[in-house]
Amino acid sequence: MADFLNLEGHVAVVTGGNNGIGLGMARGLAQAGASVAIWGRNTERNAAAESELSQLAPVKSFACDVSDPAQVEAAMAGTIEAFGRVDSLIANAGIGGKKGPFHEMTIDEFHDVAAVNVDGVVLSFQAAIKQMIAQESGGSLVAVSSLAGIEGAATNVHYGATKGAVLAIMRGLATEYARYGIRTNAILPGWIATDMTSAAVGNDTFTEKVIKRVPIRRWGTPEDFAAAAVYLAGPGSAYTNGQQFVIDGGYSVF
């Protein structure tokens, strides 16, 4: 295996790594030999992911709500206790908002989405940066944003707003922490078949509309994110910083 594909000895954290895109990325990292810490709230899904991926590499899950500072601190402490260090963190945990007219959205609904999609990214990145600076060995931060972070999302404006915020956070950190050898990049998924999009996937009319616009002519899958995670977390992306990687089958070309 080429050195840039071999992540043996590398310790990666994937928030929301027990399901969907996060699980696809955690699986890819484990396949490349990385030790992986999965942070998520659902302990059953955490245990299932840990058990599956442990066949590939050392993998441990931690119960963690990324919007809660104390839980993030505890998950990072547990990760360090288990693996001794952190080389990359993929801030993937996210929720979709309740769809509806913007002027009818309550401010609490806005804050609930922001708590996970923005606070969660901020808290996870802060914990990783502190550890990476202490290690003096650099590292990689990856934010999972969305095409909605660029295009906005009608009837789901709060979701788009949080994903746009994540891109600005990513760019700020790419400049602020490069001197510590810490790189920051973002992945922007298009239409990916996961629990988050299950209603849309199950709606034939909607699926037809989406697929018509995707040149690759299918929904994306969590597996489509495995190699991107390995590239961005690992040494292959040593000179890649402050960038947005759209993975959408070409949807955004139009």
Sites of contact with ligand NDP (CB under 6 A): 15-16, 18-22, 40-42, 45, 64-67, 92-95, 116, 120, 144, 146, 189, 191-192, 194-197
C-alpha span between 96 and 231 (Å, rounded): 26
C-alpha span between 204 and 98 (Å, rounded): 21
Positions annotated as catalytic residues are 159
Choice between 3 and 208, CB closer to ligand NDP: 208
DSSP code for 137 = S
Is the CB of residue 243 less than 8 Å from the CB of residue 183?
no
- Write down how long the chain is: 254
Choice between 134 and 199, CB closer to ligand NDP: 199
Place of tokens 């899950």: 61
Choice between 47 and 133, CB closer to ligand NDP: 47
Instruction: Check the CA dihedral 52-58-59-62 and report its sign.
Output: positive
Residue 210 bridge partners (DSSP): none
Is the CB of residue 190 less than 8 Å from the CB of residue 163?
no
C-alpha span between 122 and 17 (Å, rounded): 17
Place of tokens 């206790």: 81
Choice between 84 and 100, CB closer to ligand NDP: 100
